[in-house]
Chain A
Amino acid sequence: MHTPLRSARRPRLLASFAATAFALAALNAQAKGVSDDDIVNDATITTQVVTHGLGTKGQRYSPLDQVNIETVKNLVPVWSFSFGGEKQRGQQSQPLIHDGKMYVTASYSRIFALDATTGQKLWKYEHRLPDGIMPCCDVINRGAALYDDLVIFGTLDAQLVALNKDTGKVVWRQKIEDYKAGYSFTAAPQIVKGMVITGNSGGEFGIVGRVDARDAKTGKLIWTRPTVEGHMGYTYDAEGKPVDNGISGTTNATWPGDLWKTGGAAPWQAAYYDPDVDLIYIGTGNPAPWNSWLRPGDNLYSSSTIAIDPDTGKIVWHYQSTPHDGWDFDGVNEFISFEYNDPATGKLVKAGGKADRNGFFFVNDRTDGKLLNAFPFVNRIDWAKGIDLKTGRPIYDEEKRPGNPFAEGVGEDKKGKVVFNAPSFLGGKNQMPMAFSPKTGYFYVPANEWGMDIWNEPISYKRGAAYLGAGFTIKPLHEDFIGAMRAVDPVSGKIVWEVKNNAPLWGGVMTTGGDLVFYGTPEGYLKAIDARNGKELWQFQTGSGVIAPPVTWEQDGEQYVAVVSGWGGAVPLWGGDVAKRVNMLEQGGSVWVFKLHKS
């Protein structure tokens, strides 16, 4: 069974074939570099995956259709590779594919280069981690970036390491921030105009969120942009000296006192980039501490999508999905560029879509941030009655904000009133990236249905210590499922179909020109679903929970699919009652590669 490849969608196909064949032959110095063109065209060059998101817009759509609704039943494993050692947990990496090689990161700040057709190990790099690292949500890593002859990834002790992609030798290494103050790094870097764009992690430790742009070849800083209002942004001169580039926002406009100095808002996921409008999009995390009574105001730029001009390092627009967050509703989820025709005017709209932690799906004009549409993508939302499309602000249910622990009548342990809220702080959707199919016009959203009891408590900032001022217990909303893979129509706001899953979904999604939706489950399955109607077509048990997004590419005329397997992440650590539903799952650490069975 073999569906001929339609090369019209793949302008660079022939050249890529040649390069692939060549690369297979040798590991020598003549290996092909990754160019700016390769990066901005990654969504359509099907022989490679050189960006996080299968293209810098992050659509996670591949036009490949050799594996399709008819042929997917013949999908079989080609090889599997174990990350080895005793570090078998929390694998959230999206592999990169280039020149016949796979670059895949693993938990505990490890990266491997493998032969993409055989799984043979070419090299590995293991970062020596200090004892005091403070990842909030497991020792995970979400992937690397490729540029020129470099593969670049971030480490749990908040450093960036660039390695020669052919030898695995360190070329440069830069510190993002001080891990002792609670900073860490888990996201995949993104390459934009020759710069490596990174955020940071540590919102649970009262760090200050920031986006950095570095020269990808040297690691030298070009600009930094804090994501907490009141902090100065900088550009860097030839000697590397910082030059003031304007404060983010207006000091104390949306933060009281000096709380902004420890304000969190960590942009802890990958940045995305639309070359068309020339803006970087990145989401920001929760304001610190969780206890919102300590920080009256909107607390910019927490829980927002922000658009940054890559040339100036300045914020062009922002949209705050949860102003004055009190539920740990990070706004970090990916803002995916897409187009649609306005049903009223028929005009093409340059939009972006985001399925937020807070349970609402937001559609914004990606040129100026204007809110175009907002609707729930989960069954139950307590904290807000809706989003006012005129003002762009949530209509809060004030009864659903955890009670004030400083109010009169609070007990001797100063615990404020416990309230039940859905979604839980782990979100209607969390870090696992969704996908958008230009073919169907749907977003494929890995949603979860759960709620939480949450309460507030007093808290003081201590450098490097957890800074929440809140307690919680997560609870499932339904007996038979938590996860739900949903096809969402961003224009109508309708859920078109859903596939329920017993455990919470925590891996990402990919959709293809073969009308398939691929995603993994904590139960260990990689699944293929009909993108049009949600029909389950294929699944494979990978041996441990899947909490990572799949990728696909073609090589020597064959379409490959890969996913990393290895249970862990935030759910077993934070999950409350939910942890009971997943405590039978075993950890692991491997990558699986599939293609169609030929006979």
Chain B
Amino acid sequence: MKRLGSTARSWRYVLLAFMLAPLLLALALDRAHARDSAAFDYGLVPRQIADGVYVLEGRKEDFSTANGGDIANTGFIVGTAGVIVIDTGSSRRYGEQMRVAIARITPLPVVLTINTHHHPDHFLGNQAFPPDTLAALPATIAGIEAEGGAFNDNLYRLVGDWMRDTEVVVPRRRLAAGRQLVAGRDIELLALGGHTAADLVVIDHVSGTVFAADLVFNGRAPTTPHADIPRWMEAIAQLERLPARRWVPGHGAVHEDTEPLRQTRAYLDWLSRTLQAAAESGLDMAEAMTLPVAAEFRTLALVEHEYRRSVVHLFPAAERAALGSR
């Protein structure tokens, strides 16, 4: 899940930004509304899904001033010597409230804070965690460096004052795939990709829990702004071979079997075939957007919306192929 914002960093673009002020400033939040609605309390309650393994389940919604960006799952694993955090949420406030929630469960220090990929609902809470514990795959670090500022700007527009004082903190520790003891816990990292250039999967071997990040969606339509669909489907195939006891998807409910993997793969398969077929049959992009979502996916949250976004992401390549244009 991600939202891009203007990456216009140079002053030149700031000038331009002003020219365009109406739009740049267009969205953002109803300050009064956000204040009244929540006092910016995400109401985070960690749910224990295995011994020492906790999940904070986000809503199956899009970013809004009502949900403050709490739309992705985060989690943590309590080892004998410390806590491993998996994703930090969408804002400084989220990160801070997550730390409070962790502290209610264990006095142990956070020793490793993982950003599974570079989408903003997964790393913008980094400010709340010790800087030297922040870690990610190298391509994720590069992605946060390149696009983090724009994501952050954008979330201010989408969820408003929930974002107060949120700044991008780029993880410095570079992770690699492999199995090792972390905080006394047997942890394995898989370096995959397809949802973005780098998607990190965290396996807790003792409990058989797999944090599958945004490679897996459950009951919510997958998002594709940085997607490489064949690579993504290959990654899911690889995950399906794992002897896991439970799956924590990036979005949607924790599940005991591989149904969310099957569902995600089936949707991606339908999506790419539909768009290829549309391009091959001479449809215009505007027409491709009006195609109906297949019946079996209509129960997925936000599927109409995500389908139309995906047309914009994926149709141009299918169209170039159909037109024989490089």
Where the two chains meet, the residues of A that have a C-beta atom closer than 8 Å to any C-beta of B are 129, 131-139, 156, 204, 294, 405-406, 413-415, 457-463, 465-473, 573-574
Contact of B156 (CB < 8 Å), options: A413, A465, A472: A465
Once the chains bind, are A406 and B33 in contact (CB under 8 Å)?
Answer: yes
Contact of B161 (CB < 8 Å), options: A457, A460, A465: A460
Chain A residue with Cβ nearest B152: A462
A362 and B9 CA atoms in complex are apart in Å by 41
Chain A residue with Cβ nearest B153: A465
Where the two chains meet, the residues of B that have a C-beta atom closer than 8 Å to any C-beta of A are 9-11, 14-15, 17-19, 21-33, 65, 152-153, 156-157, 160-161, 163-165
Contact of B25 (CB < 8 Å), options: A134, A294, A457: A457
Q: Give the Cβ gap from A272 to chain B, nearest Cβ, in Å.
A: 28
Residues of chain A contacted by B19 (CB below 8 angstroms): 573-574
Q: A460-B161, A462-B156, A471-B25 are in contact. Are A138 and B15 (CB under 8 A)?
A: yes
| A-side interface mostly | loop
Q: How many A-B residue pairs have CB under 8 A?
A: 92
Chain A residue with Cβ nearest B34: A460
Q: A457-B25, A466-B25 are in contact. Are A406 and B30 (CB under 8 A)?
A: yes
Chain B residue with Cβ nearest A290: B25
Chain B residue with Cβ nearest A182: B14
Once the chains bind, are B30 and A469 in contact (CB under 8 Å)?
Answer: no
Once the chains bind, are A573 and B25 in contact (CB under 8 Å)?
Answer: no
Chain B residue with Cβ nearest A462: B156
* Known A133-B11, A459-B28, A459-B29; 6 more pairs at CB < 8 Å: A458-B33, A459-B31, A460-B157, A460-B163, A466-B17, A467-B25
Chain A residue with Cβ nearest B159: A460
Chain A residue with Cβ nearest B167: A463
Once the chains bind, are B26 and A413 in contact (CB under 8 Å)?
Answer: yes
Residues of chain B contacted by A414 (CB below 8 angstroms): 30
Instruction: Enumerate 28 A-B pairs (CB-CB under 8 Å) in ascending A order.
Output: A131-B9, A131-B10, A132-B9, A134-B14, A135-B14, A136-B18, A139-B15, A204-B18, A406-B30, A406-B33, A458-B30, A458-B31, A458-B33, A458-B160, A460-B156, A460-B161, A462-B153, A462-B163, A463-B165, A466-B17, A466-B18, A468-B21, A469-B28, A470-B21, A472-B22, A473-B22, A574-B18, A574-B19
A135 and B13 CA atoms in complex are apart in Å by 11
Residues of chain B contacted by A467 (CB below 8 angstroms): 25
Residues of chain B contacted by A129 (CB below 8 angstroms): 11
A461 and B25 CA atoms in complex are apart in Å by 11
Residues of chain B contacted by A132 (CB below 8 angstroms): 9-11
A138 and B65 CA atoms in complex are apart in Å by 33
A108 and B138 CA atoms in complex are apart in Å by 37
Once the chains bind, are B15 and A135 in contact (CB under 8 Å)?
Answer: yes
Q: Which of B28, B30, B161 has the most CB of A within 10 A?
A: B28
Once the chains bind, are A457 and B153 in contact (CB under 8 Å)?
Answer: no
Once the chains bind, are B32 and A468 in contact (CB under 8 Å)?
Answer: no
Residues of chain B contacted by A458 (CB below 8 angstroms): 27-31, 33, 65, 160
A471 and B25 CA atoms in complex are apart in Å by 8
Residues of chain A contacted by B10 (CB below 8 angstroms): 131-132
A406 and B32 CA atoms in complex are apart in Å by 8
Q: Which of A138, A204, A459 has the most CB of B within 10 A?
A: A459
Chain A residue with Cβ nearest B14: A134
A495 and B284 CA atoms in complex are apart in Å by 60
Chain B residue with Cβ nearest A458: B30
A138 and B23 CA atoms in complex are apart in Å by 19
Once the chains bind, are B14 and A294 in contact (CB under 8 Å)?
Answer: no
Once the chains bind, are A457 and B15 in contact (CB under 8 Å)?
Answer: no
A134 and B14 CA atoms in complex are apart in Å by 6
Residues of chain A contacted by B22 (CB below 8 angstroms): 470-473
Q: Give the Cβ gap from A512 to chain B, nearest Cβ, in Å.
A: 36
Residues of chain B contacted by A472 (CB below 8 angstroms): 21-22
Q: Which of B26, B29, B157 has the most CB of A within 10 A?
A: B26
A561 and B268 CA atoms in complex are apart in Å by 72
A302 and B112 CA atoms in complex are apart in Å by 48
Residues of chain A contacted by B25 (CB below 8 angstroms): 457, 459, 466-471
Once the chains bind, are B18 and A573 in contact (CB under 8 Å)?
Answer: yes
Chain A residue with Cβ nearest B24: A466
Q: A466-B17, A466-B24 are in contact. Are A135 and B30 (CB under 8 A)?
A: no
Q: A460-B164, A466-B18 are in contact. Are A471 and B156 (CB under 8 A)?
A: no
Residues of chain B contacted by A457 (CB below 8 angstroms): 25-28
Chain B residue with Cβ nearest A454: B22
A471 and B10 CA atoms in complex are apart in Å by 23
- Closest 7 pairs (CB-CB, A-B): A471-B22, A460-B160, A458-B30, A468-B25, A133-B11, A462-B156, A459-B28
